[in-house]
Amino acid sequence: MTPEPVPSDPSDVGRWALITGATAGIGAAFAQRLATDGWHLVLVARDRTRLAAQAAELTGRYGVQTEVLTADLSTDDGCELVEERLAADPSVELLVNNAGISLNTSFLRSSVADETRLLQLNVHAVMRLTLAALKMMTERRSGAVINVSSVAGFGALMPGSTYSASKAWVINFSESVGQAARPFGVRVMALCPGYTRTEFHQRAGIDMSKTPEWMWLSAPAVVDDALRDLGKGKFISVPSWKYKLAVVGLRHAPRRLLELVARDTRGRIGRDRG
């Protein structure tokens, strides 16, 4: 039996990583951790001022090279810009698809424009950038892709939310593509955190004031677990034992029980990550 190719180690020094939604939350935590490990970084988000400040800080503190790409990944032009960057330099060893959006309204009161934007960012952009990265990674026979999903992808606990459906797609997509890429020495993994201390819920207008403190994770801890699971070759990473148990419940609990605990915590203000 032919041994499976050994994938590259994400802690190797001198490699490049590209991170979308890099200016805050989990994306910023990935940038911080990878810079600490000596990775050079391509940082992608919509806010150029914030990106430039982040890049300067990481370069000054850790001595790594940084590039800034201002792109709205809910648009074709934004995706094309990042695709071109991936194609232009095959040295990118790690892609982190972190940018995403949650809507502040139920599907019953939503619009085609808002729902299309969610799908473009949460699904379409993830597909396009993953494909662009895998073309060079499989040829080189090394590299990795982390697609940031959510525990919400394992169950519909917020009535009328299409966010959870988009994240379910990311999980299924990443696991399937990961199986295809593995023989080429390339890893693809879905990262599925639970409630994490970031700007995400505030930007999305979701009221988390009643969420118990013990349910919250820190973004750096989520990133540590993700990179550990990536090194183990996992297709799906669920940080923290408490959310591992939650996923078991979401997968196996009676649907009627899940319907009883489902609730809508969204408010009026809705923006996005990245």
Q: Tens-of-pLDDT digits for all 274 residues of the chain?
A: 333 333 444 444 469 999 999 998 999 999 999 999 999 999 999 999 999 999 999 999 999 999 999 999 999 999 999 999 999 888 899 999 999 998 888 899 999 999 999 999 999 999 999 999 999 999 999 999 999 999 988 887 666 789 999 999 999 999 999 999 999 999 999 999 977 555 554 554 555 555 546 555 789 999 999 999 999 999 999 988 787 887 776 665 556 645 545 555 555 433 445 4
Q: What are the chain's domains?
A: 16-273 (3.40.50.720)
- What are the tokens at 168? 């379910």
Q: Is 187 helix (H, G, I), strand (E, B) or coil?
A: strand
Q: What is the pLDDT of residue 196?
A: 58
Question: How many angstroms separate the CA atoms of 163 and 118, rounded?
Answer: 8
Which positions are catalytic? 163
Contacting residues for 99 by C-beta, under 8 A, at least 6 apart: 20, 21, 27, 44, 45, 73, 121, 125, 272, 273, 274
| Helix extents (H) in 148-235 | 163-181, 200-204, 219-231
| Secondary structure class of 97 (helix, strand, coil) | strand
pLDDT in tens, 217-242: 789 999 999 999 999 999 999 988 78
Tokens read off for 270: 């809705």
CB 112 within 8 A of CB 162: no
The per-residue DSSP string of 41-75 comes to: EEEEES-HHHHHHHHHHHHHHH---EEEEE--TTS
Write down the pLDDT at residue 89.
82
Tell me the C-alpha distance between 211 and 188, whole Å.
31
How do the residues of the chain divide into helix, strand and coil, expressed in percent and rounded to 5?
Answer: 50, 15, 35
